[in-house]
Amino acid sequence: MRPTRPGVIAGAIYLVAGAAWILATHPPGPQALYALWFAVVAAVGGFIPGEANQVSLARAYLAAPALAYSLTAGRLGFLAVAIAIAGLSDLVDGTVARRFERPSTLGGGLDPVVDGIFMGAVAVGLSAGGAFPLWLAGVVVARYLLPALGGALLIAWHRRPELRHTLTGQVSTSLILILLGGVCLFRGLNQDSSPVVAAAEVVIPIATVATFVHLAWVSRRPVAAAEPG
């Protein structure tokens, strides 16, 4: 594999933006680790082709500020902004893929991975900061980690999984993003977030189970031929 032009250019832009964020805001927590995270994502992203995939990678970069701001109640408003930007990138990457290139199998596999990195960072940070139940943060992490491991196993067994969005997957991601963002916004405004947390304790597990069932059903169907793109 060789570095790609979109990956190198986007990585440089993200690195500059990340350094500017660290220097301008002095985020809580180990700033050297944030810088290291940006460097690691940029190094991996340099080998990933396509402008749309670089837009998707924005959510992986945003995991650092998401984790930083979720740890401190006084900065949860900034976290809500980070979540809004991440949500915007999730909408834009598909548009970019359709405008400049065909939606690809790589993009279909990358999207849930970066979603999991970002929302896992938010959930774990909120839990460490006392704003979110630890068990529910584990459900959010499992929502993305288990399908990724399942896809890797299918590939190891020489079965090609269908790397594409499913309705249940899109719905569960949207619900998790909305509920996590709601908790952050309520806490950032010094409002009682317990109703949102209570809703999350019901909605997120149900949406996660529905996603797993749907993915298990889809994985049973053999793929006769590669999908276009």
The 10s digit of each residue's pLDDT in 10-50 is 999 999 999 999 999 888 878 899 999 999 999 999 999 88
Q: Is 23 contained in some domain?
A: no
Q: What percent of the chain has pLDDT over 70?
A: 83
Rg (CA), the chain: 18
Q: Is 94 contained in some domain?
A: yes
The domain in which residue 207 lies consists of 56-220
Q: Is 209 contained in some domain?
A: yes
Q: Is 156 contained in some domain?
A: yes
Output the average pLDDT for the chain.
83
Does position 104 have pLDDT exceeding 80, yes or no? Answer: no
Number of domains in the chain: 1
In this structure, the dihedral spanned by the alpha carbons of residues 83, 124, 25 and 46, taken in order and rounded to 10 degrees, is -70
Residue 152 makes CB contacts below 8 A (sequence gap 6+) with none
What integer pLDDT is reported at residue 107 of this predicted model?
Answer: 62
Which of 84-88, 111-115, 154-158, 177-181 is predicted least confidently?
154-158
Q: Is 87 contained in some domain?
A: yes
Q: Is 13 contained in some domain?
A: no
CA distance 116 to 110: 10
The 10s digit of each residue's pLDDT in 173-187 is 889 988 988 888 888
The 10s digit of each residue's pLDDT in 156-169 is 566 665 555 677 88
Alpha helices, DSSP H, located in the chain: 5-25, 31-45, 51-56, 58-61, 63-70, 76-100, 105-128, 134-156, 167-188, 194-220
Token reading at 88: 């915007």
Instruction: CATH number of the domain at 188, please.
Output: 1.20.120.1760
**What CA–CA distances, in Å, run from 143 to 138, 169, 170, 176, 211?**
9, 9, 12, 10, 8
Residue 186 makes CB contacts below 8 A (sequence gap 6+) with 192, 193, 196
Q: Is 75 contained in some domain?
A: yes
Q: Is 214 contained in some domain?
A: yes
